[in-house]
A and B are shown apart, each in its own frame.
Chain A
């Protein structure tokens, strides 16, 4: 079961901007816990894309950015490229689930 809800899919043409939402509740994102984002290219392991709501690890292009407000968070991809076609997952901490780390339902990004 996932306690963080994401749209199943989003799409955009090369060069466009797309956003992915991640909706939680008062026991996770709404409680102030940070949101982190992962990119999973086909057939590979997830890799950390954004941590602490809006921080990029070394090597992640600045086309990727994150934000958080209230019980939701968003990942934005600007200047969409073909190599960005992948599954994206948000992740946070949930205080109602004994220290559980919780993932979003996942969003497939398609580059048209």
Chain B
């Protein structure tokens, strides 16, 4: 079955750019049936959806977040990535990638999830 694995730096300085990658195995990001999402969880807090990408490059982001997020896909490597510009301490969180499952009428859920990667923003 599909498995996802996040990778990236554990520590980033304020105002720098954070880049994370999600590697998909057991399936293809080019599958037209699924969207691929990023979700984050600040320490001790709840889950926040960041955005998704389709293999064609179509993206959609959480409108509640500032437009500092960019999600991209590399079908040749079976990966998708998240970039956050000008990070602040508020971006400290565990970042998860996940595959979206879909039913009809806007029914979308996340399964499976990657194990998550902790990113700390600190000087």
Contact = CB atoms under 8 A, between A and B. Distances in A.
B61 to A, nearest CB: 8
Interface magnitude class on chain B:
20 to 34
B17 interface: no
Contacts of B105: 32-34
Contact of B107 (A46, A47, A93, A100): A93
B26 interface: no
Contacts, number: 75
Given A45-B114, A91-B110, A51 B47 contact: no
A84 B55 CA distance: 36
Interface string A85-111: 000010101010111111111100000
Interface residues of A, number: 29
Interface in B91-116: 96, 101, 103, 105-116
Contacts of A38: 47, 110
A76 interface: no
A102 B49 contact: yes
